[in-house]
Amino acid sequence: MSNQHNSDELKKNLTEMQFYVTQHHGTEPPFTGRLLHNKRDGVYHCLVCDAALFNSQSKYDSGCGWPSFYEPVSEEAIHYLKDTSHGMERIEIRCGNCDAHLGHVFPDGPQPTGERFCVNSASLSFTDDQNGDQTKG
């Protein structure tokens, strides 16, 4: 898997934070993301390639400061990698289509999966089921 977009193209189309998060495995500050408190029905997509990642029905308030989901839309939607940066061992999650960094997954989520997909708003766009409006994180 490799990113399908070139760096210059992405720099033109993404904010500095969106580029930092998706391309340099960055993290937006907690409690600052545009989609953290979004409660509308719809689908969360990869900001870089528009691939569907999470349904709103799997979103919940974990209190961690980033949008949290208990499952992706499909197994193929997410790519998992071991991350040993910052003196921790975590599982990084990336877009299964374009490999953009999304965040991390932890084993402390609610049932039915017990997983918490902790995702940067800056890596997502949201499409509202009711009116089709799209909000970029």
Q: State the catalytic residues.
A: 118
Please give, one letter per residue, the 3-state secondary structure of 9-26: HHHHHCCHHHHHHHHHCC
CA dist., res. 16 & res. 47, Å (int): 13
Binding residues: 46, 49, 95, 98
CA dist., res. 70 & res. 110, Å (int): 7
CB atoms within 10 A of CB 109: 20
Binding residues for Zn(2+): 46, 49, 95, 98
Asked if 14 and 136 touch (Cβ cutoff 8 Å), the reply is no
- Main-chain phi, psi angles of 53, to 5 degrees: -120, -50
- Main-chain phi, psi angles of 86, to 5 degrees: 60, 25
